Structures are given as C-alpha cells and as structure tokens.
Amino acid sequence: LHGTKVEKKLHQQMFLLLKYLKYLCLIHYRMKIKKFILVSTCFIMLACSEINMYDTVVLGGEVYDPTKGTFQKINFGVIDGKIAVKSNEPITGKDTIDATGQFVYPGLIDAHCHFVGYAAGLMTVNLVGCLSFDEMVERTLAFSKANPDVDFIIGRGWNQNLWPDTSFPENDTLNILFPANPVFLTRIDGHAALVNDAALKLVGILPEFIEGGKILRKNNKPTGILIDKAMDLIEIPTPPTHLLIQSLLEAEKQCFAFGLTSLADAGLDYASIMLLDSLYKANLLRIPINAMISDHPDNYFPFFKSGPLKTERLQVRGIKVYGDGALGSRGAYLLAPYSDDAHNRGLLLTDKAYLLDLGKKAFAAGFQVNVHAIGDAANRMVLETFAEILPVGNDNRWRVEHAQVVNPDDMHYFSSHKIIPSVQPTHATSDMPWAETRLGAERIWHAYNFKGLLGKAGTIALGTDFPVEDIDPRKTFFSAVVGWGNDGKPFEKYDESKLLSRQDALRGMTIWAAHAQFEENEKGSLDIGKWGDYFITSTNLLTCKPQEILQLQVQKTFVHGQLVFTKP
Ligand SMILES: [Zn+2]
C-alpha cells in the first residue's frame, strides 16, 4: 500500500487515535480511577467508530476469489475507490451495502470488444431481423423520434428475403415520412442500400452508369436502391461529437448493467483515444478502458514516441493488427483450402515482413502486439513471427486475438513464448452451425479449443467482440462452460472437452483478462489495495443450472468504489 491513497488514509487514522489519547492523558489527572475507565472507554469507542469509517462497506456477502475459485463470506470496506479492508468482524462505513445471501464478484473485464464502434452503432437504426418492409419503416420512424438531433438517419441490417414480398423495396414511403432528412438504410450484406430522395438530392445529378455499381430505376426514376459502388455516391457524414459522447455514455450504462467494469477496445485510432482521454478528464466517462491502437503509423507513432499511457481509467500500451479475415466470409487464412471451396485458402491481410518490422518497433517502444488471427495459417504466421521477436520465457504478454483454428504443431508457442490466447466463446457457438462445413471434419477438432489453449498458455483472456456479438457477458460464460447455442439449447455435436471449467471461465473474465493487459495488480479480484470494481447478484455461477447462467440479474455494480448501476 506504500504511497497509495489508502496508506495516506491509514496515517490520518493513526493521528486521529493519537489525538484522542492526548485528550485522555490531559484529563486523567483530575479523575478518580472508576470515572477514568468510563471516560476512556467512551473515548476509545468514539475513536474506533471514526477510524473504521470506510466510504462503502459491503456486508455479509459471499465474495468470490477468482484465483482460488471459491467464495468466502466476508465483509469488505472501500476507501478512495480501493479495497481497504476485508474482515470477519463488523465494519462501518458512510454507505452500507447489505449483501447477505448474495454473491459478490469482481467486476467483469471484456478482454476484446469494440466499445467506441458499439457506441457509434447506437446512433444507427438496427434493422436486423425485420420481418417486413413495414417493420423496417416503423423501426426507422421510432429511431428518428427518439433521436431528434440526428439529421442524417443511418440504418443497417434489412433483408428482404425475410419479407412476404422478396423483391427490392422502393423509397416512396420514406419520401413521405422523411421529406427533408436524408435516410440511408444498408442491406444486411452491405452490398445494397435503400435511400430516400432527400439523400439522393445530395448527389446532384445521378450518373446513368457506375462502374462496379447500379442505381435501380423504375419508369426512369430512381427507386432508391443503390447497389455496391453506387452506395459510395452518397457521402455519409461523421456524427457530431456531442452525439457520439451521448452514445458512449449510453453504451457504458449497458456495460454496467451486465457487471462489466473494465473493457479492452480492440482497435482505436488516435482521435478516438484522445476523445476517451478528454471524457475521463472531464469526469464524464467512468468505465476504464484499455485501448489497443489501430495499426496505422498516424495512430501508433505518437504513442511509440511518448511510451505507454496510463491513467486511473485509460491505458494505451498495445497495438492491434489484423492478420487475416473471418471464417464466415471465407476470409480466414488456412493452411489447406476451405472444405466448401476447394480453390480458396482465404486471405492474409498482414504479411510476415510487415509484422516483423512493426513488432520490432513495438517491442523497442515497450508495447504489446495483439494480432487478429483466425485461420490456422494466419495463426502459424503470427506465432512464428512473435517467436522471432520475443525471447523465450518473456513477460511481454503479446496476444493472439481469436486464435480460432490453431494447428496442433503450433500450440507450443503459447507456452514457450508466453503468448496469451484472447478468445471469444460466443464466436464458437455462433459459428457452430456452419463451421464444420468450412473446415471439414478433421480441422474442426483444432478449432475453438479453449481448454487446449489454456493448457499451453496457462492463461486465457475472454471477451465478447461486441458489437460483432451481443454485449452480454453471461453469453460468454455460457458458451465457454456449456457450449450450447445462442438459443440456449445444446448442439447435436460439440466437443465438450474443449470447454472451460466454470472457475477458469471466471478467471478468463476477471483476473486473467486483467493480466492480459498488465493490470492484475489493480483489478480482476477483490484483494486489498485493488480497485473496488465489483457486482452483486443472487446467482452462484459455480453451481447454478446452465439455463440460470443466462438469467443472472446484476443487482448493483460498482466501479472504483462508486455505485454505477442499481437494478430498477
Ligand atoms: Zn474484434
């Protein structure tokens, strides 16, 4: 505790005790012994009550220790945002939380998500799953009513194949409802958009022909459907900063409601990192973020020059690189062709020479390198490159993000070079219906092997990758330990030997996620001296039934000792 605020507080309390002793010494001369004992007892009680004054005390809860993997019924007190005491004796505080019969967990850490991207997405209409044209229009209208400040309405995710009429929609209704505001609604695959006339007007005169794109017309008038390159005709404005801030605060609220108290944003540009920094300085944003820098010299050079950045809530000490694409779109880079596409091995997005050069620069500047690698060929390239830069047994904690398909011959790098697998269990359960078609019966055994990775690395960091997946960390835990589908039902075929134990999954969402970003001494467990980041619930995640995991309700969430969420 040396040099910390807690130490300062303890000093103050020692002085307080001495002050009371001084008064006692002054008055005891004038008293008889019986009276003296009475008065001194009163003084000591008074002193003790003030000494034991914590900002918040949490009493009677079953407190989870992820390192041991057990609960312990114990009281704890928080001073200046940090855990200052754990005791079986009663303690008092300015605020008292009665957690009797409840379970208290260290706050969850999402080791890989896209928080700023998620917040930006909140400023758009979610059209995924609309079952009719009318539903798409209703959602767009509801969004515009709820967000009167948004001038240019952007929506994503419609799919006319789910509608009664599967032909492309037209923009007449949007023109009536939104005569002045541009509306731009992208189809689920990102290859087409429905826009209104107010949006088309921004282009001026529409060209007859566009290379690589199409403007659909009916009776010589555009229908509002733009295909591929034609979508680029309309420049979508970047949202005003004040709206982005509003969305960041809304996104933070959603995190707190799930007991998330810390995040790692997997790829931010310089401007976004500076925006976060200013929001912390203005005491607006409260959720601590470990920001990975996006792979572009404009983003990382300023940080490589000044060295890692560390404040109470913001850390910048890692760079995020994309090794390959994703499995669903056959962009993941494989050692052998896709089982359902004999001439395709996917695509390497970053070659070895580039990664080697960037890795050496990052190593010299004291930064972590975190590379997205999904296919077994991408994983091999990344692991071999890391091994060329990092000494055996180093503690630089470089990470492979996703590590989805890893050839057994390459697994040893995780232990020899202490490389951390950072995985998202919901990807496994989301991909399960089609993953074997892409990979084939044999390769699927080397995919999503959480337990195998943990066995080699001795640690594993868990995340959600939201907004690619749902923000809900209950699903991460459920997928990691139960391995059933997102509908909460078992798959016909799933290799359960790859799943994690409940204790290990909780470690991956707390102490190991903290370790993966060099913060295990300040968060990830409720030990004295660490931040008071925790949540309270009535669910015992070690013993509850599988379905009960998805029903867990967070009662209260605290970040740096401050109450940030109470269940309504
Ligand atoms: Zn990601």
Q: Closest Cα to residue 531, out of 522, 544, 521?
A: 522
Residue indicated by tokens 């052998």: 336
- Rounded to the nearest angstrom, the distance between the alpha carbon of 473 and the centre of ligand 1 is 15
Report CA-CA distances (Å) from 524 to 286, 399, 497, 531.
17, 18, 26, 9
Q: Is the peptide bond before 467 cis (omega within 30 degrees of 0)?
A: yes
- Rounded to the nearest angstrom, the distance between the alpha carbon of 319 and the centre of ligand 1 is 13
Give the pLDDT band (50/70/90) at residue 51. Answer: low
* 435 burial type by CB count under 10 A (0-12 exposed, 13-18 middle, 19+ buried): buried
- Rounded to the nearest angstrom, the distance between the alpha carbon of 426 and the centre of ligand 1 is 12
- Rounded to the nearest angstrom, the distance between the alpha carbon of 273 and the centre of ligand 1 is 17
Determine the angle formed by the axes of helices 33-51 and 5-28, rounding to 10 degrees.
170
State how far the Cα of 73 lies from the Cα of 78, in Å rounded to an integer: 17
Could you tell me the two tokens for 400?
């492979």
Give the pLDDT band (50/70/90) at residue 305. Answer: very high
- Rounded to the nearest angstrom, the distance between the alpha carbon of 117 and the centre of ligand 1 is 10
Residue indicated by tokens 């013993």: 543
- Rounded to the nearest angstrom, the distance between the alpha carbon of 468 and the centre of ligand 1 is 7
pLDDT at residue number 13 = 65
Q: Closest Cα to residue 262, out of 540, 564, 16?
A: 564
State how far the Cα of 444 lies from the Cα of 497, in Å rounded to an integer: 13
State how far the Cα of 180 lies from the Cα of 171, in Å rounded to an integer: 14
pLDDT, tens digit (0-9, with 9 covering 90-100), for 236-276: 888 888 889 999 999 999 999 999 999 999 999 999 999 99
Handedness of CA 391, 392, 398, 401 (dihedral sign): positive
pLDDT at residue number 1 = 47
DSSP state for residue 107 in the 8-state scheme: P
pLDDT at residue number 10 = 64
360-384 b/e (C-beta count within 10 Å ≥ 16 → b): ebbbebebbbbbbbbbbbbbbbbbe
- Rounded to the nearest angstrom, the distance between the alpha carbon of 532 and the centre of ligand 1 is 28
Q: What are phi and psi of 534, to 5 degrees?
A: -160, 165
Q: What is the mean pLDDT of the chain?
A: 92
- Kindly calculate the radius of gyration of the chain based on its CA atoms and give it in whole angstroms: 28
pLDDT at 52 over 60: no
- Rounded to the nearest angstrom, the distance between the alpha carbon of 120 and the centre of ligand 1 is 15
- Rounded to the nearest angstrom, the distance between the alpha carbon of 465 and the centre of ligand 1 is 5
* Interval 505-528 mean pLDDT: 98
- Rounded to the nearest angstrom, the distance between the alpha carbon of 523 and the centre of ligand 1 is 23
Handedness of CA 514, 520, 521, 527 (dihedral sign): positive
pLDDT at residue number 564 = 98
pLDDT at 338 over 50: yes
Give the global pTM: 0.85
Q: Under a CB-based contact definition with an 8 Å cutoff, are residues 53 and 93 in contact? A: yes
- Rounded to the nearest angstrom, the distance between the alpha carbon of 112 and the centre of ligand 1 is 6
- Rounded to the nearest angstrom, the distance between the alpha carbon of 444 and the centre of ligand 1 is 21
pLDDT, tens digit (0-9, with 9 covering 90-100), for 178-212: 999 999 999 987 888 999 999 999 998 899 888 88
- Rounded to the nearest angstrom, the distance between the alpha carbon of 353 and the centre of ligand 1 is 23
Task: Provide the pairing of β-strand 314-322 with 309-310.
Answer: antiparallel
State how far the Cα of 566 lies from the Cα of 514, in Å rounded to an integer: 24
- Rounded to the nearest angstrom, the distance between the alpha carbon of 371 and the centre of ligand 1 is 10
- Rounded to the nearest angstrom, the distance between the alpha carbon of 118 and the centre of ligand 1 is 11
Q: What are phi and psi of 401, to 5 degrees?
A: -85, 125
pLDDT, tens digit (0-9, with 9 covering 90-100), for 126-177: 998 999 999 999 999 999 999 888 899 999 989 998 899 999 999 999 999 9
Cα distance between the two ends of the chain? 36
State how far the Cα of 549 lies from the Cα of 128, in Å rounded to an integer: 26
Q: Under a CB-based contact definition with an 8 Å cutoff, are residues 365 and 395 in contact? A: no
* 245 burial type by CB count under 10 A (0-12 exposed, 13-18 middle, 19+ buried): middle
- Rounded to the nearest angstrom, the distance between the alpha carbon of 113 and the centre of ligand 1 is 6
Q: Which residues pair with 373 in a beta bridge?
A: 402
- Rounded to the nearest angstrom, the distance between the alpha carbon of 402 and the centre of ligand 1 is 8
- Rounded to the nearest angstrom, the distance between the alpha carbon of 267 and the centre of ligand 1 is 8
- Rounded to the nearest angstrom, the distance between the alpha carbon of 522 and the centre of ligand 1 is 25
